[in-house]
């Protein structure tokens, strides 16, 4: 039987957060409901951040409350602080994610905190999540390059990963936020991170600005990673990462993994349907 590689769908969050036009709540819900029929077991579709910082995500609570919950799907939300965590719980998120950075410049621009301050802010989120038995994923942005600070040392990524891991994150997602990584740089970064924690607790999160995301996924597969974040239709980007293009498209990752002999468990026809919905949303 083919080995399983999971695609963690982040389109309704990482994808939509960067759309300039305000997407109607009903369209967001329809997209999530379509995606949950594609076979994803985790879908990130909400973000409990300041609506002044990311206005597109202001209706996250409503989206979470109104989706049709598919059995076996974990609906995930970003929570930068305790307030975000409490709102996510109230709206019914199954799991949450804290998000830090390997570079100081992006940390400041994205969450208005130094790396050290952000980790201190995450501590009460971890504590509350543990008390409620909720899984917490940890993101690290700018694992290869930062739009403000330039190249990021692999050891710096490894240090932040070790901290998030020791705080209790069940998985650490490593973000090439501006999509400029090369497979060689990804390999060097992963060599350092894998000194600190096992590859099967890591996920790759590649934006595709430089068109190398699929090659970067292959480099990460060779290092033992088996979870990759992607956004249907290649939606995405971060409003605080100038020049960053969309996430690598879920359907492209599915096709590459399938060609390499892996099993994703996804229904390609439903993925196509979701990608068409995204195209329509963006055309309006």
For Mg ion, which residue has the nearest CB?
A: 14
> Among residues 36, 141, 156, 216, which is the contact residue for ligand HMG, using CB under 6 A?
141
According to DSSP, the β-strands at 42-47 and 74-78 are: parallel
Q: Of the candidates 185, 148, 181, 179, which has an alpha carbon nearest to the alpha carbon of residue 247? A: 179
Q: Which of ligand HMG, Mg ion, none does 206 bind, CB closer than 5 to 8 A by kind?
A: none
Closest CB to ligand HMG among residues 25, 258: 25
Q: Which of ligand HMG, Mg ion, none does 80 bind, CB closer than 5 to 8 A by kind?
A: ligand HMG
> Among residues 81, 107, 156, 250, which is the contact residue for ligand HMG, using CB under 6 A?
81
* Binding residues among 220-259 for ligand HMG as defined by CB under 6 A: 238, 240
Asked whether position 205 contacts ligand HMG by CB under 6 A, the answer is yes
> Among residues 5, 6, 17, 208, which is the contact residue for ligand HMG, using CB under 6 A?
17
DSSP string across 33-95: HHHHTTT-SEEEEEE-S-TTT-GGGTTHHHHHHHSPPPTTPEEEEE-SSHHHHHHHHHHT-SE
Q: Name 112's Cβ contacts closer than 8 Å, sequence gap at least 6.
A: none
Among candidate residues 34, 142, 169, 238, the one labeled active-site is 238
Closest CB to ligand HMG among residues 3, 117: 117
Closest CB to ligand HMG among residues 162, 270: 162
In the complex, what is the shortest distance from the CB of residue 131 to ligand HMG, in angstroms, rounded to a whole number? 18
By the 8 A CB rule, do 214 and 181 touch?
A: no
Asked whether position 14 contacts Mg ion by CB under 5 A, the answer is yes
What sign results for the dihedral spanned by CA atoms 8, 271, 283, 179? positive
Considering only CA atoms, give the Rg of the chain.
17
Q: Measured between alpha carbons, how far is 75 from 1 in angstroms, rounded to an integer?
A: 28
* Binding residues among 171-190 for ligand HMG as defined by CB under 6 A: 175, 177
Closest CB to ligand HMG among residues 20, 52: 52
Q: How many CB atoms lie within 10 A of CB 179?
A: 26
What sign results for the dihedral spanned by CA atoms 85, 91, 95, 100? negative
Catalytic-residue membership of 146: no
229: tokens are: 């974040």
By the 8 A CB rule, do 221 and 251 touch?
A: no
Q: Which of ligand HMG, Mg ion, none does 230 bind, CB closer than 5 to 8 A by kind?
A: none
Asked whether position 99 contacts ligand HMG by CB under 6 A, the answer is yes
In the complex, what is the shortest distance from the CB of residue 269 to ligand HMG, in angstroms, rounded to a whole number? 27
Which positions are catalytic? 238
Residues of this chain that bind Mg ion (CB under 5 A)? 14
């Amino acid at each position: 039987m083919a080995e399983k590689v999971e695609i963690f769908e982040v389109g309704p969050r990482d994808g939509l957060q960067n759309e300039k036009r305000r997407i109607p709540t009903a369209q967001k819900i329809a997209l999530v409901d379509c995606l949950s029929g594609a076979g994803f077991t985790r879908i990130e579709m909400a973000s409990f951040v300041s609506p002044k910082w990311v206005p597109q995500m202001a209706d996250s609570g409503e989206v979470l409350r109104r989706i049709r919950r598919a059995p076996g799907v974990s609906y995930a939300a970003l929570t930068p602080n305790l307030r975000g965590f409490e709102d996510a719980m109230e709206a019914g998120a199954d799991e949450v994610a804290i998000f830090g950075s390997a570079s100081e410049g992006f940390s400041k621009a994205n969450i208005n905190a130094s790396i050290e301050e952000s980790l201190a802010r995450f501590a009460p989120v971890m504590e509350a999540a543990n008390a409620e038995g909720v899984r917490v994923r940890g993101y690290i942005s700018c694992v290869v390059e930062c739009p403000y600070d330039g190249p990021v040392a692999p050891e710096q990524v490894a240090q932040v990963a070790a901290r998030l891991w020791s705080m209790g994150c069940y998985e650490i997602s490593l973000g090439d936020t501006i999509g400029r990584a090369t497979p060689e740089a990804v390999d060097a970064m992963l060599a350092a991170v894998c000194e600190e924690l096992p590859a099967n607790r890591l996920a790759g999160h590649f934006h595709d600005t430089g068109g190398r995301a699929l090659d970067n996924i292959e480099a990460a597969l060779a290092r033992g990673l088996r979870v990759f974040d992607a956004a249907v239709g290649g939606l995405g980007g971060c409003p605080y990462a100038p020049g960053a293009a969309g996430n690598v498209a879920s359907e492209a990752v599915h096709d590459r993994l399938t060609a390499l002999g892996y099993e994703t468990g996804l229904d390609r026809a439903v993925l196509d349907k979701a990608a068409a919905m995204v195209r329509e949303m963006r055309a309006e």
